[in-house]
Amino acid sequence: MDETTRVAHLLYEAGTLKNQRRTGWWIAGVRDPESVAEHSWRTSLVASVIASMEGADPAQTALIATWHDTGETRSGDVNHLGRRYIDGSADPRDIAADQTEGMPAPLAELVRGAVAEYEAQETAEAVCAKDADKLECLIQGVEYKAQGYASAQRWIDNSRARLRTRSGQALADAVLAGEPMDWLRAAMGEDQRKA
């Protein structure tokens, strides 16, 4: 199989994340939770925001966030409870190496490097990407709670406690001080005061 065909296969494989649900939300009672791809998309946006606020490289941070869960095409989205029962869960770096085997070297290095950087948590960009992952989960939890899923509070609290950057913490506090539809009220010029 040639390199271009292998890349095409990776693109199809990545697309399966659009159909894979984030399993932790089932524990909170959410019947149709977001997909891994939906989570990764907003995580990438949040990553560029946090990086910009922290003085890190927004493009590199967004790249890391884009690839951070791609290995779940092969390992699945295993929630934190489930991980307690999986012996020797797959290392995302190993999955990225398998996914990019036989691809053009620059692409393989890009993907493997982004995943390795995220897992190592040694650069400002990796820390910002991890905070983006947690902040996105917090935001999603607030949205689910507003839809009536009270159990989402656990995810909100746990995500807030894991934020490391000042910017991530400040953004979390701003999210928690408002409501999910405040953006629309502001865009429409409506009164922001709660009744």
Low-confidence ranges of the chain (pLDDT < 50): 195
Indicate the CATH number of 3-187 among 1.10.10.10, 1.10.510.10, 1.10.3210.10, 1.10.3720.10.
Answer: 1.10.3210.10
- Going 35 to 54 to 159 to 84, the CA torsion angle's sign is positive
pLDDT at 49: 98
pLDDT at 195: 47
Residue 55 burial class via C-beta count within 10 angstroms: exposed 0-12, middle 13-18, buried 19 and up: exposed
pLDDT at 81: 79
| Residue 163 backbone class (left: φ over 0; alpha: ψ -120 to 50; beta: rest) | beta
- The first and second tokens of residue 18, run together, are 């659009």
pLDDT at 77: 83
Residue 35 pairs with which residues in a beta bridge?
A: 21
- CA atoms of 134 and 115, how far apart (whole Å): 17
Backbone angles phi, psi at 133, to 5 degrees: -60, -45
